[in-house]
Copies of this chain bind each other. A is one copy, B any other.
Amino acid sequence: MTHNTFALKGTICFSADAQRINIHENSWLVCEDGICAGVFSELPKKYSGIPCRDTGDCLIIPGLTDLHLHAPQYTYRGTGMDLELLDWLNTYTFPEESKYRDLTYAREAYSIFMNDLKKSATTRASVFATIHVEATELLMDLLEETGLKTYVGKVNMDRNGSSALQETSAGASAGDTRRWLEEIRGKYRNTKPILTPRFTPSCTDELMTELSRIQKEYRLPVQSHLSENPGEIAWVQELCPNTRFYGEAYDQFGLFGGKSCPTIMAHCVYSTEEEIALMKTRGVYIAHCPQSNTNIASGIAPVRRYLEEGLHMGLGSDIAGGSSLSILRAMTDAVQVSKLRWRLVDDTCKPLSLEEVFYMATLGGGSFFGKVGSFEKDYEFDAVILDDQNLPHPQKISSRDRLERLIYLADDRNIVGKYAAGRKLF
């Protein structure tokens, strides 16, 4: 036991597995040097006298993971919700992202994003920045300060952007990426780089070849988009006639999972059998982004199928395709669209349960970051304290129902405490 040992007391909730949530009422959750030491109904003697934050009747859950979001799109979330993916990118996204060449603008916008992410229930996130090296480093500086644990990617795109938002060549894109990686080397404790080819339509084969080299050299994880929208998928097939399915467009460059290349692919709304099989073989993480898939009319991903296959799954807000930064909201969105999918598309795939989406938001996505998303012993200590006092009710309800209710109804006022890797953020 070290001097960095403390406890939280309250009603402690975390996934046993995708089907069950462990709930320990009136219990202690102990943190030693940033690591969970366990959950105890009585505080063991060896911990007597450690600092304890008694949260009263609050619920304590693992910090949530947002596996997919675009930081530069945050400040225009909730506008322009009238187009499908490709038109939406050209009309709203690319013009906005082009502004991040201006560091003053970037600082103002990223500060707004950072302030809200701090107040959210998210402790881990995998974030797209823009193509701009300086603004990406600025974002990393800001995120580092928050204490949140994040991956951040400078975006690569050398085709099909706009004159204002596109790198001039594969070489220029790769060069900027290397410069970025060198400039941040050893600089951060909480913030790590992730290789970020925007999506296949944005990256020439030449660029993908360069990125493959960089990935191996720097041993970077990878994030991108996959099989989100029918128009996009048809376009990828045109651009990459040598591939049988979209995922191969990444895989042919070694940027699609595997032990030395942990990979997050956002969306997977329309993955084929072959793509699913390859994701399974390669251990690719799927970032399910239900609100974004709804807002830009992409469709509903077959999450039940993916869970049954045992694929790695987490949730993403996909700001600004998704309008809400809240992964609590992403949980309810995931349940809701799964019900519509059951009703309208395939009634053999039963809707997702609260237990399943809670798992995806904690252990499911968290495991991309290591031992994250649980209060089992030896997990990194990411915790969020939820207070439901402002949601009064006359009836007695179980702790499990209080958790469901908070997931449906909470906003930042209900998030009253947060820890990432043992560090108290508030």
Residues in chain A within 8 A of chain B (CB atoms): 75-82, 96, 99, 105, 108-109, 112, 291, 294-300, 323-324, 332, 335-337, 339-345, 351, 353-354, 392-395, 397, 401, 404-409, 411
Residue of A108, A397, A408 most packed against chain B (CB within 10 A): A408
Whether the Cβ atoms of A344 and B394 lie closer than 8 Å is no
CB-defined A-B contacts under 8 Å, sample of 14: A75-B393, A78-B407, A78-B408, A79-B397, A81-B404, A82-B353, A82-B354, A99-B395, A112-B394, A294-B340, A323-B332, A340-B340, A341-B344, A411-B411
Which one, B76, B337, B401, contacts A79 given CB within 8 A?
Answer: B401
Return the chain B residue nearest A407 by Cβ: B78
Residue of A109, A336, A404 most packed against chain B (CB within 10 A): A336
Which one, B76, B298, B341, B394, contacts A75 given CB within 8 A?
Answer: B394
Whether the Cβ atoms of B294 and A336 lie closer than 8 Å is yes
Give the oligomeric copy count. Answer: 2
Whether the Cβ atoms of A297 and B351 lie closer than 8 Å is yes
Residue of A323, A337, A351 most packed against chain B (CB within 10 A): A323
CB distance from A299 to the nearest CB of B (A): 5
CB distance from A191 to the nearest CB of B (A): 22
Whether the Cβ atoms of A299 and B81 lie closer than 8 Å is no
Task: Give Cα A337 to B411, complex, Å.
Answer: 22
Whether the Cβ atoms of A340 and B77 lie closer than 8 Å is no
CB distance from A105 to the nearest CB of B (A): 6
Return the chain B residue nearest A344 by Cβ: B344
Which of chain B's residues have a CB closer than 8 A to the CB of A291?
336
Whether the Cβ atoms of B394 and A295 lie closer than 8 Å is no
Which of chain B's residues have a CB closer than 8 A to the CB of A324?
409
Task: Give Cα A323 to B299, complex, Å.
Answer: 23
Task: Give Cα A109 to B395, complex, Å.
Answer: 9
Whether the Cβ atoms of B112 and A392 lie closer than 8 Å is yes
Which of chain B's residues have a CB closer than 8 A to the CB of A401?
79-80
Whether the Cβ atoms of B300 and A344 lie closer than 8 Å is yes
Whether the Cβ atoms of B394 and A105 lie closer than 8 Å is yes
A297-B351, A337-B340 as given contacts; A75 in contact with B392, CB under 8 Å: yes
**What 3 A-B pairs are tightest by C-beta distance, nearest first?**
A78-B408, A297-B339, A75-B393
Which one, B295, B296, B345, contacts A344 given CB within 8 A?
Answer: B345
Whether the Cβ atoms of B335 and A81 lie closer than 8 Å is yes
Whether the Cβ atoms of A395 and B297 lie closer than 8 Å is no
Return the chain B residue nearest A408 by Cβ: B78
In the complex, besides A78-B406, A78-B409, 5 extra interface pairs with C-beta distance below 8 angstroms are: A77-B408, A80-B404, A112-B393, A291-B336, A323-B408
CB distance from A249 to the nearest CB of B (A): 23
Which of chain B's residues have a CB closer than 8 A to the CB of A75?
392-395
Return the chain B residue nearest A79 by Cβ: B401
